[in-house]
Amino acid sequence: MTVHIFVTAMAGIVLAALIGSQGQSEHANPKIVREPSFTVIGISARTTNAKEMSGEGVIGKQWARLMKENLLSNIPNRADSSIIAVYTDYESDANGAYTFILGAKVSSAEKIPAGMVAVKIPAGKYAFFVSDRGPASEVVPQIWGRIWSASKSALGGVRAYKADFELYGPQAADPQNAQVEIYVGIK
């Protein structure tokens, strides 16, 4: 996966969130799922949507660093080959600060590499979205645009602002023809 695709995709998320997205997808309506808790090890940074929109954002830089430094290979006890992008520790809601963690799901967090953190994603109810298949730089911002503009009834409940995550599994191996799963925590 190229760094440029992910940097572009992640930088576009906040823009899509603020302006919404055009058109509808066959994947526009979420399925409500219960997910067990799991642990992620990865790199983290604190940010806000305003910061991401200003050109001073950290999300694109985190993706570039993950790929350039091949940081996934340093994560022990990986549960699978997927990449996980986590949004957690929300200060309040979409307008407040949050922590962005980029890494992998692990079976054990006993050994955390230097410069990385471990975070436990809580078990709970999630609105589960699947992006259309296409360039990650397009499909990820499109689905986030739908999420941010969805009413609570369309979302399946009120956002919990505890943890949301994106799963870049085997269907996202080709960044030009990716399909990404997004889980949004709801009450």
User: With bands split at pLDDT 50, 70 and 90, how would you rate the model's confidence at 28?
Assistant: low
**What is the percent of the chain where pLDDT is above 70?**
85
Mean pLDDT lowest among 9-23, 143-157, 171-185:
9-23
pLDDT at 66 over 50: yes
6-15, 48-57, 64-73, 93-102: least confident range: 6-15
Can you list the domains of the chain with their CATH numbers?
3-186 (3.20.80.10)
What predicted TM-score, i.e. pTM, was given to this entire model?
0.85
Give the closest residue to 17 by CA, choosing from 65, 103, 87: 87
pLDDT in tens, 145-174: 899 888 989 999 999 999 999 999 999 999
- Averaged pLDDT, 73-96: 96
Strand order in the sheet with 83-88: 31-35, 124-130, 181-186, 159-168, 83-88, 98-106, 38-47, 117-121
Looking at the predicted structure, is the pLDDT value of residue 69 above 60?
yes
Beta bridge partners of 45: 100
* Confidence check: pLDDT of 93 > 80: yes
Q: In the structure encoding, which two tokens stand for residue 54, read together?
A: 């200003």
